[in-house]
A and B are shown apart, each in its own frame.
Chain A
């Protein structure tokens, strides 16, 4: 099975542009789709948002909690959200019954 898509939908704004740029920089082969008021990023497998990259582009401190102001929706599982990064991915596990 090909890797499933994860995605985030973000509200368009000046700050969001920096976040989008950071996500594009840190996640190869990501697709970006602009809709009215909204930007949708999608990628196979996993997506990471790094505080350091966002801060580098914004030129100011940015805490990962600020991502809440931009995020409209997402598909995937938030597998990590700490001070330095947010990771969204699906769990790649075989069915439990088959694993036994």
Chain B
């Protein structure tokens, strides 16, 4: 018997398994497809270029896992964590585990919902595979970081931290904003804006940077995840083209969502900019370089001319992102550094060599606007102190980042916007977040801002030690400067003695 082609197999084994209901109405089976105002006339027009069947999906996913777990086993056997560029590197993975892994799990749930509720068999099938992928990502990340949990502090409490700590509210609010949107908006949010437009910035150049710092485990985990992402990217691109093609009335709705979710996703990437520019002890590619290559060149110059055909334009406020790329990582790392007593990872004053690298990557701005702050922090550290900001800041009502960004045209002025709604004043960090807030104020006023909750007495008590304990941070162990940490002591002992005595 002749073997079926990929195209035939895909049709027989996925799309053709669908049927038309006879004794219930379609909208009883799929009740969420109309309230967002999106019009779909023909679900059959959905194309999935990957053309996977369950059999081929499991075959290749199993192979990906086999390869990954062989690397993890080898990493463990060879004590490869000792050959990382520096003990500071571990803090990257603490941010990743507490800030991103719970998002992967949440995405698994959201795509399971979409796999049930989208109106056509092809997108339901793509969503089903993605749901399984996201679960795999959460699991492979946990297994990878388990290698570090055995030797370093700060990995054992990530799920609790995710629900409580102020800077993790950034990723938590992002995914919960998407999950509480309708099915089409959540697809534009997660599949298009995040997976297609922005995740490259985390999973490609940053993972290459992890490799550069000797972390074969995380690199392999990251690229293994990202090989699924390329399928998710395809879903994202198909979603947007499909919806734009189905009805011209969809175009302005989609444009609003692209505008909103570009900016929401871009603000989440602020944490990635810090990892790239400051927290990889051996830096690899700057935030600015990766933003230019993976976003400006590939998305703005590559993708958007395709979307113009449908009448879609570049995301609103993208020019602000371009204008602040010289300052993004420096403003955010400075915030994490000065509030390091309420973070569940360590920060440190960049070395002179690292400052020189930043100067070389940001030649027009770094020495003038950012280096002097670090020189001052270094003088304080040399005198035996540590610069902290003892006051608390408000958070942006949309992205939940304190307003630490500067005006696009003036890096000496903080960017703060205030919106009034029903007699209350809300702080926003930027024109982008203000636009999002004012478009849906009823949604965003419900977001519990960490600082407001602190003043209401909801974070364990009025003092910093009480708040630190409520966050779930192990005081003196997980927070403060790397130089004062148990991780730093262990790292030095291990390398001095050649054994794993001591440590955690």
**Cα of A77 to Cα of B47 in the assembled complex, Å:** 12
CA of A95 to CA of B223, assembled, Å: 35
Residues on the B chain within 8 Å of A81, using CB: 6, 49-51
Residues of A within 8 A of B301 (CB): 4-5
A11 at the interface (CB under 8 A from B): yes
B230–A74 touching, CB < 8 Å: yes
Number of A-B contacts (CB under 8 A): 110
Q: Is the CB of B211 within 8 A of A90?
A: no
**Pairwise interchain contact A73-B7, C-beta atoms closer than 8 A:** no
Are B203 and A73 in contact, CB atoms less than 8 angstroms apart?
A: yes
What separation, in Å, do the CA atoms of A82 and B47 have in the docked complex? 13
Q: Is the Cβ of A37 less than 8 Å from the Cβ of B207?
A: yes
Segment touching A, from B105-113, B308-316, B367-375: B308-316
Q: How far is the CA of A77 from the CA of B285 in the complex (A)?
A: 26
Tally B residues with Cβ within 8 Å of A.
Answer: 46
Expressed in whole angstroms, the Cα–Cα distance for A57 and B212 within the complex equals: 29
Contacting pair A5 B302 (CB below 8 A): yes
A73 touches B204 (CB 8 A): yes
Which A residues from 72 to 98 make CB contacts under 8 A with B?
72-83, 90-91, 93-97
Q: Is B27 an interface residue (CB 8 A)?
A: no
Distance (whole angstroms) from the CB of A51 to the closest CB of chain B: 11
> Interface readout for A7-29 with B: 1 if CB under 8 Å, 0 if not?
10101000000000000000000
Asked if B489 is an interface residue, CB under 8 A from chain A, the answer is: no
Q: Are A68 and B231 in contact (CB under 8 A)?
A: yes
A35 closest partner in B (C-beta): B208
CB neighbours of B227 from chain A (8 A): 11, 68-72
Q: Is the CB of B5 within 8 A of A75?
A: no
A7 and B212 contacting across the interface, CB-CB below 8 Å = no
Task: Give Cα A95 to B307, complex, Å.
Answer: 8
Partner of B223, one of A38, A79, A91: A38
Bound-state Cα–Cα, A67 to B347, Å? 39
A64 contacts B302, C-beta separation under 8 Å: no
**A36, CB-defined interface residue at 8 Å:** yes
Which single member of B230, B284, B306 contacts A36 (CB below 8 Å)? Answer: B284
Q: Considering only CB atoms and an 8 Å cut-off, how many residues of chain A contact the other chain?
A: 37
Interface 1/0 per residue, B231-245 and A, CB below 8 Å: 101100100000000
Q: How far is the CB of A78 from chain B (nearest CB, A)?
A: 4
Indicate if the CB atoms of B64 and A36 lie closer than 8 Å.
no
CA distance A7 to B308 in the complex (A): 20
Given contacts A5-B297, A7-B298, are A73 and B308 in contact (CB under 8 A)? no
**A78 near B49: Cβ-Cβ < 8 Å:** yes
0/1 string, B217-256, CB within 8 A of A gives 1? 0010001001101110110010000000000000000000
Known contacts A82-B7, A97-B311; A72 and B51 CB within 8 A of each other: no
Contact A5 B298 (CB under 8 A): yes
A6 adjacent to chain B (CB < 8 Å): yes
Bound complex: CA A66 to CA B298 (Å): 24
Chain A contact residues: over half helix, strand or loop, or mixed?
A: mixed
Q: How far is the CA of A66 from the CA of B60 in the complex (A)?
A: 7
Is the pair B305, A90 in contact by a Cβ cutoff of 8 Å?
Answer: yes
Return chain A residues, CB-CB under 8 Å to B237: 77
- Whether a CB of chain A sits under 8 angstroms from the CB of B63 is yes
**B180 CB within 8 Å of chain A:** no
Q: In the complex the two chains form, is B226's CB within 8 Å of A72's CB?
A: yes
B204 and A64 contacting across the interface, CB-CB below 8 Å: no
B231→A36 contact, CB < 8 A: no
What's the minimum C-beta distance from A96 to chain B, rounded to whole angstroms?
5
Contact A68 B60 (CB under 8 A): yes
B205 near A: Cβ within 8 Å? Answer: yes
Q: Does B303 contact A (CB under 8 A)?
A: yes
B157 in the interface, Cβ–Cβ < 8 Å? no
Q: What residues on A are CB-neighbors of B402 within 8 Å?
A: none
Chain A neighbourhood of B306, CB < 8 A: 77, 90-91, 93
CB-nearest residue of chain A to B3: A83
For residue B214, which residue of chain A has the nearest CB? Answer: A36
Q: Does B472 lie at the interface of the complex (its beta carbon under 8 Å from any beta carbon of A)?
A: no
Q: Residue on B with the closest CB to A68?
A: B60
Q: Is the CB of A82 within 8 A of B223?
A: no
- Partner among B64, B211, B309 whose Cβ is within 8 Å of the Cβ of A37: B211
**B6→A83 contact, CB < 8 A:** yes
B453 interfacial contact with A, CB 8 Å: no
Q: Is B209 an interface position by the 8 A CB rule?
A: yes
CB atoms of A94 and B309 under 8 A apart? yes
Is B351 close to A, CB under 8 A?
A: no
In the assembly, what is the distance between CA of A1 and CA of B302, in Å?
12
Q: Which residues of A contact B67 (CB under 8 A)?
A: 69
CB distance from A83 to the nearest CB of B (A): 5
Does B56 lie at the interface of the complex (its beta carbon under 8 Å from any beta carbon of A)? yes
Q: Min CB distance, A73 to chain B, in Å?
A: 5
B126 at the A/B interface (Cβ < 8 Å)?
no
9 A-B Cβ contacts within 8 A?
A: A5-B297, A5-B298, A38-B208, A68-B227, A68-B230, A69-B60, A73-B203, A73-B229, A91-B309
Besides the contacts A74-B233, A81-B51, what 18 more A-B pairs have beta carbons closer than 8 Å? A9-B204, A11-B223, A35-B205, A35-B285, A36-B284, A37-B207, A65-B52, A69-B64, A69-B227, A71-B230, A73-B200, A73-B226, A74-B230, A78-B50, A82-B6, A90-B306, A93-B306, A95-B309
Which 5 A/B pairs are nearest by Cβ-Cβ distance? Answer: A75-B298, A37-B211, A36-B211, A78-B49, A36-B212
